[in-house]
Structure 1
Amino acid sequence: MKVIEKTGKTIDDAVNAALAEFGVSREKVEVEILENPSKGLFGFFGSKPARVKVILQSSPSENAVNLLKNIVNAMDLPVVFDVDEKETFSIINLQGKDLGILIGRRGETLDALQYLINLSVNKNSTERRKIILDVEGYRKRREETLQRLAVKLANKARQKGRNIVLEPMNSQERRIIHTALQSFDDIYTFSEGEEPYRKIVISPKK
């Protein structure tokens, strides 16, 4: 959060000066009027300009990074944050040594951390923004692993002529499996079970 004070002949002049310095639009800031303008004696002597305090609101990504810094600092983990802003979501990639503890078994810790971060940064927010957390490109490697697994199990289902049931996965990983096999003419996929134990079934068409 950044704060500056500005003066001007009018409140609007002072606010516009702050907006120009920040380089943002009006909806991105909060304005506190510190002093209204006064004309003074005879409209000239002792006149005072308007004075305002303008507060630049932090973006969801900035809030997320600040929260993550507190977490990794408490764990004594040196981390570099790389933020990639997309149109409707943000990807925050954490880079450093010995960060496997942030990933956990098959990404369970990373998914839990991502869930908590999204809850926090979107609390009381009128405009929700999805934050995707990654550690050293783990999600991309996991996606490639799941794509290979999907093809391997689809071939197995085809050869044996029976359904193959995968282990429980989150919705994002299930989507990767579905997408990887959607072009297979003789294979179809569906999900069964309740969260968080929902599974994908790979089935040969008969």
Structure 2
Amino acid sequence: MSNVIASGKTVEVAVNKGLAQLGVSQDRVTVNILSQPSKGFLGLIGVREAKVELTLLPEVTPEPVVGTMISSSVSNEAVDGDPYAAAVKFILDVGRSMGLEVEVEVQHTKDATTLHIFGPDLGLMIGRRGQTLDSLQYLANIVANRVSTSYLRIILDAENFRERRKKTLEELADRLAGRVIRSHKEVVLEPMSPQERKVIHAKLQDHKVVKTYSKGEEPNRRVVISLR
């Protein structure tokens, strides 16, 4: 499925429904607003919902490369036509605006490209539970895909946060699964990003006693753990 048409009370709600159907984030699609919502006569008759069309951007898999590239500065000339250089320059500029001198290591793999950030005081760029890092990752993807002719998937990491966070979430999943089994009551987790929800689902997908599902709308969508 490469495109969907979705409706909602607002354009935002319609877009979120379409993203849920495609199972992707907004940076993976183009959005065409087919119709704006209207309240109709006296706000009661002829109510029309917003309607949008979401088209999935083509995805390109970066070729594996040997080694990595370290960048402490990137010129505008180097950015021209290079989506990865554009993303690196964005991160470096953000770091300097935060008073941080950082370096970025670009690592290509079969599935994605990871930008590893190195430098002092990276807690500022990671943020609480990685929220700042997630926001920067989202923006870095937008910056890169504005330059690229095909969709690129970029992961942003700092101080190996992604792996440490994944381990923390997997331990949390095991612990809460045990609580559900003991109490026979479902557990609703705090709102998480799609990537973090995926970790919880993957950890418990083969569990013999509990199951997981998500509920709610972005950005307040939550994982629920319950008995099978």
TM-score (norm 2): 0.63
Structure 2 counterpart of 1:73: 96
Q: 1:188 to 1:56 in 2, by over 3 A?
A: closer
Matching of residues 20-99 of structure 1 within 5 Å = 58-99=81-122
Q: Is the 8 A contact 2:81 2:148 kept in 1?
A: no
**Number of equivalenced pairs:** 151
Structure 2 counterpart of 1:30: none
Compute the displacement of 1:56 (Å): 9.6
Give the distance between the partners of 1:178 and 1:76, measured in 2 at CA.
38
**Letter of the aligned partner of 1:65 in structure 2?**
V
Q: Is the 8 A contact 1:88 1:129 kept in 2?
A: no
Give the aligned CA root-mean-square deviation in angstroms.
1.7
Q: 1:164 aligns with which of 187, 192, 213?
A: 187
Compute the displacement of 1:58 (Å): 4.2
Give the distance between the partners of 2:172 and 2:195, measured in 1 at CA.
15
Q: 1:86 to 1:154 in 2, by over 3 A?
A: same
Q: 2:221 aligns with which of 194, 198, 202?
A: 198
Q: 1:94 to 1:202 in 2, by over 3 A?
A: same
Q: Which range moves more in the overlay, 63-72 or 192-201?
A: 63-72
SS in 2 for 1:123: helix
Residue-by-residue CA offset, 1:163-206 (whole Å, 9 max, x unaligned): 0110000100000000011121111000000000000000012x
Structure 2 counterpart of 1:114: 137
Structure 1 counterpart of 2:151: 128
- Structure 1, unaligned runs of 5 or more: 1-54
SS in 1 for 2:146: coil
Q: Is the 8 A contact 1:188 1:202 kept in 2?
A: yes
Does 1:179 find its partner at 2:202? yes
Does 1:148 find its partner at 2:171? yes
Larger Rg: 1
TM-score (norm 1): 0.69
Q: What is the aligned-residue identity percentage?
A: 42
SS in 2 for 1:92: strand
Q: Is the 8 A contact 1:189 1:200 kept in 2?
A: yes
Compute the displacement of 1:155 (Å): 0.5
- Structure 2, unaligned runs of 5 or more: 1-77
Q: Is the 8 A contact 1:65 1:81 kept in 2?
A: yes
